[in-house]
Amino acid sequence: MNADAALKTEINAEEFLLWSQSRPDGERYELVGGQPVRLQAERVSHAERKLSAVTALRQGLRSAGLTDCRAFPDGVSVRIDDHTVREPDALIHCGPYDRDGLFAPHPVIVVEVVSPSSQRTDVDRKLIDYFAVPSILHYLIVYGDEGRVIHHRRATADGQITTSILGRESVIDLSPPGLSMTVENLLES
């Protein structure tokens, strides 16, 4: 598929993955409504916060003894539907997965670290997208400069979402799958 044509016509998730693998190293995209959208370059502080989030998730999984779950950094995608693919800054996946795959087939927790260019999308469109995936139970939005995390949780079997705004000393309960951590742990860099 011609890269320019891919940007002008609607493509599905499988076509997007093939197309995105043909892009030069360092170029990252999400698929939104059938259109590839290039992700912005990141500041060092943003990369540090993403690393902190993945590290805290991994430590939380180890502490909880959740051996069937894995924490992944960005680069592992979440398929929302046939025409939307998101790449969270960090995620926890539980259950089997293909080590050569590009998708997390059973993401349970997704994390986005807010940056000036992503704030609006992180708090509205991605909230809708992520909770369209039945396996996702928690969506954490990290506001590193403010020392806060917004925790959206699928609270009931009917899919109702509850929201908590948590400060540095707060404990984030991520059950299921059964881990917890302080906001401070998530923010450490």
CATH number of the domain where residue 62 is located: 3.90.1570.10
**pTM passes above 0.85:** yes
Domain count, the chain: 1
Residue 15 lies in a domain: no
What is the rounded average pLDDT of the residues 98-122?
85
In a domain, 32, yes or no: no
Residue 109 is part of which domain span?
Answer: 42-187
- Strand 107-113, strand 138-143: pairing: parallel
- Whether 29 maps to a domain, the answer reads no
The confidence band for 6, taking pLDDT boundaries of 50, 70 and 90, is: very low
What mean pLDDT is reported for the chain? 88
A 10 A CB-CB count for 67 gives 8
Q: Which two tokens stand for residue 163?
A: 């929201």
In the block, tokens 């059950």 appear at 175
Give the closest residue to 58 by CA, choosing from 36, 73, 42. 73
SS3 156: coil
pLDDT-derived band at 1 (thresholds 50, 70, 90) equals very low
